[in-house]
Structure 1
Amino acid sequence: MGNGNLGRRAFVLGVLSAPLVARGALAQSCPTGRVTITGSFGKAAFNVDIADTESTRAQGLMHVESMPLSQGMLFVYDRPQQMSFWMRNTLIPLDMLFLDDAGVIRHIHHRAQPLDESVISPGPMLLRGVLEINGGLARRLGIEEGDVLRHPAFVSEQEPWSCDTAD
């Protein structure tokens, strides 16, 4: 999987994303390969590969040589936790959007540098996910902290949502 072919990895990651559908009936009926972000800028949509197992999260976007602007990788964790990342073996700059349990963007790390092993962390916040997109894209689109990402992995009873409205 280290050959930079994101399409082939998308198929493999799609097969590995079975734990994701455990969030209830909505998760089972909504597509898991797409997210939308809504904020004062409007709405943006990304096709995503899901990293929701220890091995897929460890692999991340390492060795990927390029990624379409409409593509990203969504890291999903079973429970809220402190998070830290690095860019070891990652060849493209990335924006990292750190998400709480309801999909609210709580921190954005802009333009993480390829191959840098410095720790990237939003601090002591307990979070459930990270969306990685091409570096610089969050600013270009106007995505900010407080904007909301919609995906079946981030459905809560406090934030009712239907995937029919996401497209």
Structure 2
Amino acid sequence: MGSRAFKIGAKFVFLALQGMAAQAGGLCSADAVWLRGEFGTVRFSVDVADDDAERARGLMYVDSMPSSRGMLFAYDDAKPVAFWMKNTLIPLDMIFADAAGVVTKVHTRAIPGDLTPIPSEDPAQFVLEINGGLAAQMGIKPGAEMRHPIIADGAWPCE
């Protein structure tokens, strides 16, 4: 097989594998959250805040964040939660999800430093924070499904 034929063949295999991963919705891993909905499927690399100290610090003092990154806040049970932007330096979108990982609310462009509480309204067990304006840009809205290994009985479970 010539060099050009090998490159074309390798590219085809790569595109086929990439397509299968997209169809499967991606692999579950502790450092990634997947969202799917009418907009398609998106992946964010995340840090998980699953204890009181990590949740209290959140994304405070972070002065920039790549658009593909975020933070997933996880609680033991679904309950009403509220966030504020104390010591937060960048605008954030907050994507609230229930115990099954179904998005119930999207709060866009939370204002850096604002102490006004941002409530979940409905009980939430998971909250994904991403760069402000990104949720609207991507079309993420209530009804979308979140996928991560910490979402035990999710609407879109890890296999």
Same fold (TM over 0.5): yes
Once the two structures are TM-superposed, the CA of residue 141 in structure 1 deviates from its matched residue by: 0.6
Question: What is the CA RMSD across the aligned residues, in angstroms?
Answer: 1.5
Higher strand share: 2
Q: Distance in 1 between matches of 2:155 and 2:134?
A: 26
Once the two structures are TM-superposed, the CA of residue 159 in structure 1 deviates from its matched residue by: 3.6
Gaps in structure 1 of 5+ consecutive residues: 1-28
Structure 2 length-normalised TM: 0.80
Query: Which structure has the bigger radius of gyration?
Result: 2
Structure-to-structure mapping, 1:12-23, within 5 angstroms: none
Pairing 1:162–2:137 present = no
Pairing 1:35–2:33 present = yes
**Aligned match of 2:13:** none
Pairing 1:152–2:145 present = no
Q: Distance in 2 between matches of 1:107 and 1:160?
A: 18
| Paired residues, number | 133
Gaps in structure 2 of 5+ consecutive residues: 1-26
Given residue 145 of structure 1, which amino acid in structure 2 is its aligned partner?
A: P
Q: Distance in 2 between matches of 1:160 and 1:132?
A: 19
Which stretches of structure 1, 4 residues or longer, exceed 2 Å deviation after superposition? Answer: 158-163
Structure-to-structure mapping, 1:51-62, within 5 angstroms: 51-62=49-60
Question: Percent of aligned positions with the same letter in both sequences?
Answer: 47
Q: Distance in 1 between matches of 2:74 and 2:56?
A: 12
Structure 1 length-normalised TM: 0.76
Given residue 138 of structure 1, which amino acid in structure 2 is its aligned partner?
A: A
Q: Distance in 2 between matches of 1:117 and 1:162?
A: 36
* 3-state DSSP of counterpart to 2:107: strand
**Aligned match of 1:122:** 120
